[in-house]
Amino acid sequence: MLLDRYILRLWAAPFVGMLFIVTGVLLLGRILKLLALFADKGVDWGIMVTMLMAILPYFLVLTVPMAFFFAMQSMIIKLYQNSEMDALRAAGLSYMRIFRVLFMMAIVLWLALTYTAMEWMPQGQKAFQSLLMAVQKVKPAPGFEPLRFSEDLDDFTVYVEGKDEQGVFHGFMLEDARSPVSVVYLAETAKLERVGSELRFTLFHGTRLEGDGSSLRSLAFDRYQIAMNLGELGLLKVPVWGNRVFEMQAQELWKLVKETHRPDAVAEWHRRLITPMSILVLILFCLPLSHMSKRSNKAGVYISGVGLILLIYNLNIVLYQQVANGLLPWWSMWFGEVVLLLLGSFFFWKVSQDKVFRFSSMIDKLKLS
């Protein structure tokens, strides 16, 4: 147990740091894509935060295995360079025993990521895509043509007699039908501005009328401001999607697979199961790729690790696209994953027998040549 706690402590800090870095890089890339859109549309920046939180489960399914892998590589390198690995091996401990706690941790994370991919990820993607489409289609603030009753805003009717060069309305009337009792605003002049997710009318020198008949009440004002939420006005409408498979919950997706056998639904179902398994593949390759001498260059270890991650994720993407388009059967996705698992198991066994060449040393030789 003492060894398990020590290994876990060596691994935990790099894992958390790597997770923040890798996830942060992905989020930053998404933020840069959204900045121009939000600036042009003038939408409240809080919506961007909501969108980023919605897409976070999808990123975690990708970044947790990466962070786990690089943290374990960093830990193994440290054990080799400090001669601790040599001491543990000389004491008769196998690699499986040394890293037992990390194999257990990998299984726990695999199960958690599978649940995330099945339930939280589609919810987040649905929310993100819906908000993105809503922002892209957001209407600009209405201009209101003079001498016409405008009903562009839900629950509001606007009438203006004219508009000057500064954008100030003259002879302004606004009817607010959001409540059971109708409210009418009459003003000599009015300004319209959009602030974040709100549309604001500022009225000058007018009267507020509420009710009708004997219950009519009036309020005279010199300045009166009315703020309205864009979503309530119909300017920011979140669309309701149909049967997009990557946004379906697990139960709904499985029902579609059983009833229709649609290639895209089948591919999406198996993708959600296979993607979290990358953490099991990576842990098997971690020791063979990180097996190094004290004089080896650490850069070679990390380069080989990056290459492996690119290979795994690109292979999964290619197979997923082929299955989704009906060009390959569903089991081809699992075939690629099984091949990687068997290959990783083989190299892990070879390292345990001290019969494998060092990948990092090979990369160092290639760099020197």
pLDDT at 366: 46
pLDDT at 154: 65
pLDDT at 70: 93
Tens-digit pLDDT profile for residues 169-228: 888 888 887 777 878 899 999 888 766 556 788 899 999 888 777 778 888 999 998 877
Quickly state the pLDDT bin for 237 (edges 50, 70, 90). Answer: low
Give me the residue label for tokens 């001669």.
Answer: 83
pLDDT at 329: 94
Tens-digit pLDDT profile for residues 342-354: 999 998 988 888 7
pLDDT at 44: 65
**CA–CA dist 17, 27 (Å, integer):** 15
pLDDT at 191: 86
- The answer to whether 278 and 63 are in contact (CB under 8 A) is no
The pTM score is 0.72
User: Out of 131-140, 277-286, 309-318, which region has the weakest mean confidence (pLDDT)?
Assistant: 131-140
Helical ranges in the chain per DSSP H: 2-41, 45-81, 84-90, 95-98, 100-115, 121-136, 230-233, 250-260, 263-274, 278-290, 298-324, 331-352, 359-368
State both tokens at 274: 């296979």
User: Out of 159-173, 229-243, 312-326, which region has the weakest mean confidence (pLDDT)?
Assistant: 229-243
pLDDT at 234 over 80: no
pLDDT at 235: 46
pLDDT > 90: what percent of the chain? 35
